Structure 1
Amino acid sequence: MTRKFFGTDGVRGTANIYPMTADMALRIGAAAGRYFRNDGSNGHRVVIGKDTRLSGYMFENALTAGLTSTGMNVLLLGPVPTPAVGLLTTSMRADVGIMISASHNPHHDNGIKFFGPDGFKLSDAAEEQIEALIASDVEPAKAANIGRAKRIDDGRFRYAERLKATFPAGMRLDGLKVVVDCANGAAYKVAPEVLWELGATVIKVGVDPDGFNINDGCGSTHPERAAQVIRDTGADVGICLDGDADRVMILDETGAVADGDQIMALMAARWAAVGRLQGDTLVATVMSNLGLERFLDAKGLHLKRTAVGDRYVVEAMRAGGFNLGGEQSGHIVMTDYATTGDGLLAGLQFLAAMIDTGHKASVLARNFDTVPQMLKNVRFTAGTDPLATKRVAASIADAEIKLNGKGRLLIRKSGTEPLIRVMAECEDDTLLAQVVDQIIAEVAAAS
């Protein structure tokens, strides 16, 4: 079955434009309520968190109306990171968790992500069943069985305590000057609090959300501002989160950026050295750099690749019994501690490595030489399929011939935006630019 609303990470789009409307959110809430309240009792719970987008209020209220109309009891967490929703879904014994966020997208977008009672994101099969309910007329609960809504004021504090519990016992961050960029998003309070409580000198960036400035020139997708603050203040390290704090980029003391591949390489090597890396395997997506694969091979470790999307990484981890995975974009998943990507958790693990080894961030953040990689995006008109045209197909085929034995090519549609992503890797910079640009030009012409 082809999913109409759900993409690689829930439902996402521009706020107040179909399908991200209040009416649709109400229908999604009612469908989810009917799916999870399948025995007719009134003891079912759902926790709802959100980031700092203005439209979050609208979707929070609409989802609550839909859920309570089917008899679900709603627990409202307010602004919390996505991993906090996964955590609190299980700790509060909820049947389902919902995060209202469009992650790293600009403020005018929003999204709805679902977590099952085990704290993990819903499977494709579950989302398909919810989609079927959205398309049908969901029967509301009887008046006496309408659900209740309650605001939970200490959600972020519960999450903060869980984070600190993952940090090595007795270890402190005294003497470490840390820049933390919260992208004016969901972690704008909890991230600086956790770092300060662990002893760090904290320099805050992106902690003044106004409903419109989430991810705007800050955070993991725009680390330039934090890099300058590091250089200006002489900070030791920077932690750049995205809007819902499920991904991270680490900045060293010079302001240079380490992406998810470098962070995973560090953690995989450290965990393997003490026998913690289950199956001697790291799970990552097809986007991860070839240099990461070579790094792991040299250490006798394995890289298992998946489709793009942290949910697919987690599915492969659970299926294979692996405990470390993630994405180049900064989703780092450690199932020993969390059910989904957690940027602040990954940042804390990096800081622990700094304290443990005594090395500067620049040493720990450069674990392998990357193979030159180029990624370009082309926006296309909704309803069109540029990849189906003969000229684009011919251009891709020609590029694959040119790269044969010299590199690799990956073309895919974004699961969250109307974009065609063209990525290639090759040791020859000239050839790399040539094959990417020729495909980009044909896709643009067909869009």
Structure 2
Amino acid sequence: MQQIEGVWQLGGRKYFGTDGIRGRTNASAMTAEMAMKVGQAAGAHFLRGDHKHRVVIGKDTRLSGYMVENALVAGFTSVGMDVIQFGPIPTPAVALLTRSMRADLGVMISASHNPYEDNGIKLFGPDGFKLSDEDEHAIEALLDQPPKLAKSMDIGRARRVEDARGRYIHAVKATLPEHIRFDGLHVVLDCAHGAAYQVAPAAIWELGARVTAIGVNPNGKNINDRVGSTHTATLQETVVAAGADIGIALDGDADRLIVVDEQGRVVDGDQIMALLGTAMSRNGLLRGKGIVATVMSNLGLERYLQSQHLELVRAKVGDRYVLEEMRARGMNVGGEQSGHMILLDHATTGDGTIAALQVLAELVESGKKASEMLHLFDPVPQLLKNVRYSGGKPLENATVQLVIAEAEKELEGSGRLVIRPSGTEPLIRVMAEGDDAKQVRAIVDRICAAVEEAV
């Protein structure tokens, strides 16, 4: 068994989880007061050197984004940072523009695939990469201290940049060779009523495809609501009804990608990684002779890569940990089964739109149907269930540990067991996989029952 340690407040930290700070707005740490403190603390931490300091801020389409954004602006300007606001824009666009605009810090206001009631704050360093654990620890330490306010004449200014979306569209299109066009391709695109509702349809249409867009009418409360990468039923139905060639689903902040083939079948991140990794290997573009995924990726992916003489490196759950392994090992393709796709040749974080363009390019170049191209291996039976808890450490319960030990012994040599607390929600995630589907289900049910009893 591979068990990832961590808690809802990750590693003993009070505020930061595996992907920044996240929670229910006005009912947890995600208040206007906290957002202002984060702006003051992060701003103070990045006030380095004698240049004029700058932070860029993007957000998704949640109602609470207005509140959080204004509070962050107040915090950053109060410690002497200038602020550039982009409005609704994908997380990877913030990472890209942080670097291209020579900012000291980038901020994305989003809770990704969570419902609209939640929100979060993701931070990027001047290199466009998510902050290290050390930087997050330093910022967290400053949150509980009085802010270091700027002198009256040094308070920062704030302004909006209206062409940020256009800059991002140009950048994602530039990731494809100039000869690639999507003429004749019918794509159904689900933007989850989220951050990419304008940029993703525009980028794909500008490359020649016919685009049927859904999930592109945000109202502040419908982000991820029965649409997007975690709710693909509408996309599947639309692809089949429209006779489209392929369906693309992004999540609320557009750093995830899930694909639907022309028959309406869902293709997860493992299959997408298999496609992009092997295609890049054939073209001599894959570095490190393999890809990086997490402990949650299917055993079938590992076996398939081995058949192609490629390695699967497993990281802890969370795209930041995938990225750490990629950078440490000099690898340029990585991701998660949930759809985070990191292509380091093109982006410093997961980018669903860039990954979608690479998939569409393979579809055009291969001349195959999506169903023929996207299902490269048969997944090993795998089951994941979540148990919600409100406190304590249920995985330290003696009965739970005994049930887990018995399950581990039962799967020995024929499967895997991964049990971990979520880094973004108060959940215990229980996953098992193996060649016997009935055995897998029975094991997951037993462990979940034990955890439920413990909590």
**TM category, shorter:** over 0.9
The equivalent residue for 1:297 is 306
Deviations 1:284-338 (A, max 9, x none): 1111101111111111111111000000111111111111100000001001000
Does residue 174 (structure 1) correspond to residue 183 (structure 2)? The answer is yes
* Contact 1:42–1:145, Cα closer than 8 Å, also in 2: no
Identify the residue that residue 36 of structure 1 maps to in structure 2: 46
Spell out the pairing of 1:264-413 with structure 2 (5 A cutoff): 264-381=273-390, 383-413=391-421
Q: State the shift of 1:412 in Å.
A: 0.4
Equivalent in 248, 266, 269 of residue 260 of structure 1: 269
Deviations 1:14-67 (A, max 9, x none): 01122111101110110001000134x461110000000000000000011001
Task: Look up the SS of the partner of 1:359 in the other structure.
Answer: coil
AA aligned to 1:424 is A
CA–CA distance in structure 1, aligned partners of residues 98 and 159 of structure 2: 15
For 1:28, the aligned partner's letter is: V
The whole-number CA distance in structure 2 between the counterparts of 1:323 and 1:129 is: 29
CA distance in 2, matches of 1:130, 1:72: 16
* Deviation sequence 1:239-290 (CA, Å, 0-9, x none): 0000000001011001101000000001111111121110112011111101
* 1:212-240 deviations in Å (ceiling 9; x for gaps): 00000000000110110111110000000
Q: Is the 8 A contact 1:83 1:341 kept in 2?
A: yes
Structure 2, unpaired ranges of 5+: 1-10
AA of the residue aligned to 1:18: S
Structure 1 runs (4+) deviating above 2 angstroms are none
Q: CA deviation at 1:445?
A: 1.6
Paired residue type of 1:14: R
Matched, 1:424 2:432: yes
Deviations 1:166-195 (A, max 9, x none): 122122111100000000000001111111
* Alpha-carbon distance between aligned partners in 2 of 1:426 and 1:321, rounded to the nearest angstrom: 31
Structure 2 CA distance, aligned partners of 1:139 and 1:433?
Answer: 54
In structure 1, what is the equivalent of residue 28 of structure 2? 18
- Match runs of 1:159-170 below 5 Å: 159-170=168-179
Q: Is the 8 A contact 1:42 1:72 kept in 2?
A: no
- The answer to whether residue 257 in structure 2 is matched with residue 251 in structure 1 is no
Tell me which of 129, 133, 145 is aligned to 1:124: 133
Measure the CA separation in 2 of the matches of 1:185 and 1:272: 33
Q: Kindly, what percent of the aligned residue pairs are identical?
A: 59
State the distance in 1 between where 2:257 and 2:48 align: 37
CA distance in 2, matches of 1:442, 1:65: 47
Question: What TM-score comes out, normalization by structure 2 length?
Answer: 0.97
Q: 1:147 aligns with which of 156, 163, 167?
A: 156
Q: Distance in 2 between matches of 1:305 and 1:288?
A: 8
Q: Greater relative contact order: 1 or 2 (C-alpha under 8 angstroms, separation 6 or more)? A: 2
Contact 1:42/1:147, CA 8 A, preserved across alignment:
no
Counterpart-to-counterpart distance in 1, 2:53 and 2:287: 35
Look up the SS of the partner of 2:195 in the other structure.
Answer: coil
- The TM-score, its normalising length taken from structure 1, stands at 0.98
Match of 1:409, as an amino acid?
A: L
Q: Which amino acid aligns with 1:402?
A: E
* 1:133 alignment counterpart: 142
How many Å separate the matches in 1 of 2:203 and 2:277? 24
- 2:25 maps to a residue whose letter is A
Identify the match of residue 233 of structure 1 among 242, 262, 275.
242
Secondary structure at 1:140's aligned position in 2?
Answer: coil
1:387/1:393 contact within 8 Å kept: yes
Corresponding pairs, count: 445
Q: Distance in 2 between matches of 1:44 and 1:424?
A: 48
Aligned to 1:114: 123
Deviations 1:337-366 (A, max 9, x none): 000001111111010001111011111110
For residue 87 of structure 2, give the secondary structure of its aligned residue in structure 1. strand
Structure 2 match to 1:221: 230
CA apart distance, 1:206: 0.3
C-alpha distance in structure 2 between counterparts of 1:266 and 1:444, whole Å = 38
Find out whether 1:7 has 2:17 as its counterpart. Answer: yes
Aligned counterparts of 1:321 and 1:205: Cα–Cα separation in 2: 37
Separation in 2, partners of 1:226, 1:155: 28
Q: What is the alpha-carbon distance in structure 2 between the residues aligned to residue 38 and residue 30 of structure 1? A: 14
Q: Distance in 2 between matches of 1:280 and 1:389?
A: 41
CA contact (8 A) 1:168 1:352 kept: no
> Mean Cα displacement is larger for which, 178-187 or 10-19?
10-19
* Equivalent-residue separation in structure 1 for 2:110 and 2:236 (angstroms): 26
Report the CA distance between 1:96 and its aligned residue: 0.5
Return the letter of the residue paired with 2:101.
M
Residues 74-89 of structure 1: pairs in structure 2 closer than 5 A: 74-89=83-98
2: CA distance, partners of 1:332 / 1:48: 22
Letter in 2 for 1:384: G
